[in-house]
Amino acid sequence: MVKILVVNGPNLNLLGEREPGVYGNSTLGEINAGLVEAAAQMDVELEFYQSNHEGGLVEALHRAGEEFDGAILNAAGYTHTSVALRDAVKAIGVPVVEVHLSNPAAREDFRHVSLLAGVVAGTIAGFGPGSYLLAVDWFAFQAKADDEDGDGDDFEDDEYEDDDDEPDDEEEDGTEDR
């Protein structure tokens, strides 16, 4: 069974009340309950965390790297501003899927840039609560594909440990780049 931590950022505790024309009428609790039901059918176990504080979200991502096979992250407004969240995603060594209920690219200009986009496995946006469900489905699909190699490991995360285009400190011959 694949274990995924679903991490929700600021103001998502207000879903169902806040801008229903943008975010829908479902509360976060209702979204989570629907996800648990769907995830069980896919052999995926979910745990949920929500915070309005950046540090709490960073700590939740650190926990995801230690105790889970991956994370689904709706960083909300921090998507566009938080280098700390970007660094946490990059550091934890498990895949993270960025999700958004709305489509940030179709909204205000300041929402068009995600600081997370370069370090997440992928981004799913604009499908309301279905964005989360598509992320769960991706994890289930990955686990099944990775388990087909017969090693019993439900989820390979090696490709997410250092999957950036930044140069490493060491050259290929083992000498340090100075």
The single residue of 23, 49, 78, 132 carrying the catalytic annotation is 23
Active-site annotation holds for 132: no
Instruction: Kindly report each contact of residues 152-158 with a partner whose C-beta sits within 8 Å and lies 24 or more positions away, as own/partner.
Output: 154/1, 154/2, 154/69, 155/2, 155/69, 155/70, 157/69, 157/70, 157/93, 157/94, 157/95
The answer to whether 6 and 75 have CB atoms below 8 angstroms apart is: no
- Find the length of the chain: 178
CA angle at 11 for the pair 140 and 79, rounded to the nearest 5°? 60
**Measured on CA atoms in the order 152, 134, 44, 10, is the torsion positive or negative?**
positive
Q: Which amino acid is at 41?
A: Q
The single residue of 62, 78, 80, 100 carrying the catalytic annotation is 100
Give kind and range of the element (H or E) at residue 177. Answer: none
Active-site annotation holds for 160: no
Please give the positions annotated as active site.
23, 100
